[in-house]
Amino acid sequence: MHKESVELLEKHLDTTSAAPVSIRKLQTQMLPLAMQGKLVPQDPQDQHATERLQTIEAGKEFVWRTNHCYAILLAHLLT
C-alpha cells in the first residue's frame, strides 16, 4: 500500500500543485495518514510513540536537573 500511495502521489503531483484547494485537501488527508504510520513502512522494532515520548521527557528532566545543579554550584562558587 505504501509504494502504491507514493506512486499515486508522484503521478498526480503536477495536478495537485496546480490548484491551491487541492493542496489544502492533500495536506489535510496526509497528516492523519502520517500520524497513523500509513505513509511509510513501519519497523516493529521501533519503540511505541508513548514510550518514546516518556523517554524524551525523562531526558529533558535529566538535562534540566543537571543544568540546575550546575547553576547552583556555579552560583555558590562565585559568591
pLDDT value of residue 20: 67
The alpha carbon of residue 48 and the mean position of all alpha carbons in its chain are separated, in whole angstroms, by 13
pTM beyond 0.75, yes or no: no
Integer CA distances (angstroms), 39 to 25, 33, 34, 61, 76, in order = 16, 6, 5, 32, 53
| φ and ψ of 59, to 5 deg | -65, -40
**Segment 37-70, tens digit of pLDDT:** 888 888 888 888 889 899 999 999 999 989 888 8
